A = this chain, B = another copy of it.
Amino acid sequence: MYGYQLRHEFEASTGATWPLNVGQVYTTLARLERDGLVAGDGEPDGDGRVTYRLTDAGHADVARWFTTPVTRERRQRDELAIKIAMALTTPGVDAHAVVQTQRTATLRSLQDLTRLKASADDVADQAWLLVLESMIFQAEAEVRWLDHCETRMTAAPGPAAPASVPAPATEEALS
């Protein structure tokens, strides 16, 4: 495939969920070629398109990617979880409020996603639909977790005294 087409394919499969800057396709292609995973016909064809192909090493890489599950260790740090954890352990922060703000926001985005799914239910291709539903499932789990936080927090009161382990720093209230 050629660069522009790759971007088109990506957005077709994942929808407008994660927009992809075209420039990034080319930088990435260049880096993949540098690493010997793809090879491009240097010259653009009649329509000014430069076709890239997977090398053997590239094929192997892709196959490995498909057969290797995404492990929990490889996952990115979860900003939300960190935020709530920090809200709990940071003196002067109303963790309750943080949870509530997040909850309403997540609920709102859940509505948006559901509406989006309803409107595109028959039209879209499988892949894009599944990606959408993945986000819905995640949002639902997020709400559930936030409610769970709520109950946990009301059960055990305020921020446990900060465990500044080696030497306690002077504590300043936030905001």
**Residues of A that sit less than 8 Å from B by CB:** 1-2, 4-5, 8-9, 12-14, 18, 47, 49, 51, 53-54, 59, 62-63, 65-72, 74, 76-89, 93, 97-98, 101-102, 104-106, 109, 113, 125-131, 133-135, 137-142, 144-145, 148-149, 152-153, 156, 160, 162-167, 169, 172, 174-175
Contacts and interface: CB of A to CB of B under 8 A. Distances in A.
B131 A81 contact: yes
Contacts of A148: 130, 133, 137
A135 B69 contact: no
B149 A130 contact: yes
A145 B131 CA distance: 10
Given A84-B130, A174-B59, A163 B12 contact: yes
Contacts of A104: 69
B174 A69 contact: no
B83 A125 contact: no
Contacts of A133: 145, 148
A77 B18 contact: yes
Given A106-B69, A137-B148, A174-B59, A89 B127 contact: yes
A62 to B, nearest CB: 6
Given A71-B105, A85-B131, 4 more contacts: A9-B163, A12-B165, A80-B134, A129-B152
Contacts of A74: 79
A70 B83 contact: yes
